[in-house]
Amino acid sequence: MTPQQFITKWQRSKLSERAGAHEHFLDVCELLGQPKPAEADPDGTEYTFERGVSKTGGGDGWADVWKRHHFGWEYKGKHKDLAAAYQQLLLYREDLGNPPLLVVCDMDRFEVHTNFTDTVKRVYDFNLAGLASPSNIDVLRRVFTEPNSLRPDQTRARVTEQPARRSSHRHLRFKSEPIGQAYADPIE
């Protein structure tokens, strides 16, 4: 399946989440040249549709698609709230083994949320038309093949360390300048 064939098929679709999610995902696999869940894992222990989970905080649920050490994937119907789908995945992620990527999709929009420990979160988002871009196809392919390649470079510690370092630098600069000149030059 070419990107244009995928785009054309799913732009026309009016299917509900229940009616279209599995076929949409199977088409994503075909588009990317990736094995489908039942083909890659006939037992459903590592990669499957409808993975049963215990929600953080109690209760049970079903992750639409799950691949161990790669992703949890949650669908919503077209033009539905992807933030709600993401919140749903957050309730599932512990029981899914805390996958490095959390993907939400409404069959028209894709959001790939990074979920790496001690890193700043990054979201890759694009719509169906965006699949014409090789960079978006590459992101989706890496979701299946190299999730760690999407790991953000910045750690949470580095993000909080940078303002502290700048503040320390300002303090030292202020102390070392003669009185009356501390406010004369703008501080970076």
- Asked whether residue 122 falls in the same domain as residue 166, the answer is no
Looking at the fold, whether 171 and 97 belong to one and the same domain comes out as no
Residues 64 and 117 both lie in one domain: yes
Q: Assess contact for 119 and 88: CB atoms under 8 A.
A: no
C-alpha closest to that of 99 among 83, 115, 117, 120? 115
- Give the number of domains in the chain: 2
Same structural domain for residues 177 and 125? no
pLDDT tens digits for range 111-155: 999 999 889 999 999 999 999 999 999 999 999 999 999 999 866
Q: If we measure between CA atoms, which residue out of 49, 113, 107 comes closest to residue 80?
A: 107
Are 72 and 162 members of one domain? Answer: no
For the record, the structure tokens of 159 come out as 């993000």
> Are 143 and 183 within one domain?
no
The reported pLDDT for the residue numbered 35 is 97
- Which residue range(s) make up the domain with 174? 155-188
The CA distance from 71 to 99, in Å, is 5
Asked whether the beta carbons of 17 and 77 are under 8 A apart, the reply is: yes
Q: Please tell me whether residues 89 and 175 are part of one structural domain.
A: no
CA-based torsion, 24, 27, 32, 38: positive or negative: positive
The Cα 140–Cα 11 span in angstroms is 18
Alpha carbon 73 to its chain's center: 9
pLDDT confidence of residue 157: 53
Residues 138, 164 within the same domain: no
Which pLDDT score, from 0 to 100, does residue 153 have?
86
Cα–Cα distance for residue pair 114/120, rounded to 1 Å: 8
User: What pTM did the predictor assign?
Assistant: 0.81
Look up the CATH number of the domain holding residue 125: 3.90.1570
129 and 177 inside one domain: no
* Residue 83 and residue 135 in one domain: yes
Same domain? For 142 and 160 the reply is: no
Q: What is the distance, to the nearest Å, from the Cα of residue 16 to the centroid of all Cα atoms in its chain?
A: 22
Q: What pLDDT shows up at residue 113?
A: 98
Quick one: 137 and 170 in the same domain? no
Enumerate the H helices of the chain as residue ranges.
3-12, 17-32, 37-40, 82-92, 134-145, 156-176
pLDDT one-digit tens code per residue, 144-166: 999 999 999 866 555 445 555 55
Segments of the chain scoring below 70 in pLDDT: 154-188
Nearest C-alpha neighbor of 70 from the set 45, 92, 90, 99? 99
Contact between residue 63 and residue 15 where contact means Cβ atoms under 8 Å apart: no
pLDDT of residue 165: 56
